[in-house]
Amino acid sequence: MKAVDITGVPLDLGAGRRGVDMGPSAFRIANVGARIATLGYSVIDLGDIPVPIPEVIGVQNQRARYAREIGAVCQDLYLKVRDSILSGHIAVSLGGDHSLAAGSVAGSATAMRQRDRPLAVLWIDAHADMNTPESTVSGNVHGMPLACILGQGPPELVDLGGFSPKVEAGRCAVVGLRNLDEREKDLVRHSGVHAYTMKDIDRRGMASVVEEALGLIGGGDAALHVSFDMDGVDPAVSPGVGTPVRGGLSYREAHLLMEIVADSRRLVALDVVEVNPILDYQNSTAILGCELILSALGKEIL
């Protein structure tokens, strides 16, 4: 029987506002494990990784706030994701802010190195998350995880697993971009990642964009790690997120993306992050997140 390991990461140290630490609980209230099991998976809930709360720790670096503590959380997640994948399980990480992806992608990358198989990363987000301590305006680390994965950023996150970068830029695609500051635009343009904005999706359609992206990053039968920020979806559909931006993916566009991921049969790990129940309505964002997880794991319409 196919297996899925679920890890909750109640991390909000990387965010600018509180609340996403309750994201894993919101997913469990939405019965994420039981719903995955209906697809025929054996589901193992590994519980939550312990995370300190900001009120009891001091900020040591205003350019990368709480980077040390975030690095410790990501180290724990790195080990869990690595071990899940090496056991042949799909690793699902529930957040929590997007800085957790520095740990989850490190776990996927280490597992694939041991399997001698390339890794591709599909990043769905309204934001590029490619700031560094040098470029950041806010100092919030949840705006840095993709930069860390590509080898730039706080060393506590860049050095996870003992190697860097975790994935080559050409094996990374970012889909759904619509809110970048000027300095970050330059970082994205010169990074080598395949970047798709909402304008690209509007003009070409989701299927064309995602199929092209997977084709570009997936050569050599690369395994696929998907990191899905719920703010990639339009806030009219996904209101309970840390940094909502109008003009995002529609309900069906988000599902189609995940259905195409399932069709690729390459998924080894999935993050669904930035669910903030404080800003949500009747847990609708976590419920949508559960539905998107099911689509990525193979739930079909017919």
Instruction: Determine whether 229 is an active site residue.
Output: yes
Q: Angle at Cα 183 formed by Cα 178 and Cα 188, nearest 5°? A: 60
Nearest 10 degrees: CA dihedral of 91, 7, 61, 179?
A: 60
Choosing from 12, 271, 274, 280, the catalytic residue is: 274
Alpha carbons within 13 A on the beta-carbon side of 115: 19
Let me know if 129 is a catalytic residue: yes
98 is a catalytic site residue: yes
Q: Does the active-site annotation cover 280?
A: no
Which one from 21, 125, 234, 253 is the annotated catalytic residue? Answer: 125
Q: Is 76 a catalytic residue?
A: no
Q: Which of 98, 194, 225, 255 is catalytic?
A: 98
Residue 255 is among the residues annotated as catalytic for this protein = no
From residue 35, alpha-carbon distances to 2, 109, 125, 265 in Å are: 14, 28, 24, 20
In the annotation, is 274 catalytic? yes
| Active site annotation includes 194 | no
**Between helices 206-217 and 251-264, what is the axis angle to 10°?**
30
Catalytic-role residue among 5, 21, 97, 229: 229
Alpha helices in the chain (DSSP H): 23-29, 32-37, 67-86, 101-115, 145-149, 155-158, 182-189, 198-204, 206-217, 251-264, 284-296
Of residues 89, 127, 225, 255, which has the active-site annotation?
127
Spatial contact of 227 and 124, defined as CB atoms under 8 Å apart:
yes
- Point out the catalytic residue in the list 21, 69, 97, 129: 129
Q: Is 130 helix (H, G, I), strand (E, B) or coil?
A: coil
* Residues labelled catalytic: 98, 125, 127, 129, 142, 229, 231, 274
